[in-house]
Amino acid sequence: MTFTTMEVIDAVRSLLEGESGLSASVEALKQTYVADERQPAIAPVMFLRTPAETQEKAWPLKYPMVHIYCDRIEGRPVERLRRFSGRVRVVAEVRVSQDRLEGITQSLHHYVDGVRDVLERNTGCVGDGLYLSSEYEVQIEPVKKGGLNYLQTARIAWPVMVNRG
C-alpha cells in the first residue's frame, strides 16, 4: 500500500502538538529569549496553507499561530520493489503579530527555534516507513502590515523520507 500525504502531516503534527512538543520547547527557551509576559499561548497546529490576508477575512485570529502543510512530493525510486520511495517536504509556517515593531522578530525567532528544537529531537523514524530527516531550511520574511497591525512570518521546511512497499 502506498502512503497518503495526510499520514505524513499527522505524524509531524503529533510531534509538534505532543507533550514534549512545541509548547514544551517554547517554554524551555524562555530563559534564552526575554519573552513578553502578555504573549499568548501557542495556538494549535493547523493543517492549512493560506495567505494571512485571506485567513484574516475568513475568521478572527489569535497570534502566534503555526500552520503545517506539504508543499512538495519527490518520487525517487532508489529502493527496488517499493511502491513509493521518495521525499515529502513538510512546511511549518509560523506567524506572529503585534501592535508594535519592537520585539516582533525576537518573538518570531523564539517560535522558530521551538519548532527547530522539536524537529532536531525527533529526527529518525516517526511512523511506518516515515523518517524525519535532520535537514531543514528556514526562511524568515520581513515584517509587513497585517494581523494585529504588524505581521511577520517564517517557514521551516524539512523532508520526510517515505519508503512504502
Which letter does DSSP use for residue 38 in this model?
T
Phi/psi at 103 (5° precision): 85, -5
Q: How confident is the model at residue 128, as a pLDDT?
A: 86
Task: Quickly tell me which residue has 527547530 as its cell.
Answer: 116
Give the pTM: 0.86
Q: How confident is the model at residue 94, as a pLDDT?
A: 94
Q: How confident is the model at residue 30, as a pLDDT?
A: 82
Q: How far apart are CA 140 and CA 109, in angstroms?
A: 9
Task: Quickly tell me which residue has 523518517 as its cell.
Answer: 131
| Average model confidence (pLDDT) across the chain | 85
Nearest partner of 165 among 85, 82, 102, judged by Cα: 82
Q: How far apart are CA 17 and CA 110, in angstroms?
A: 17
CATH class of the domain at 5-164: alpha beta
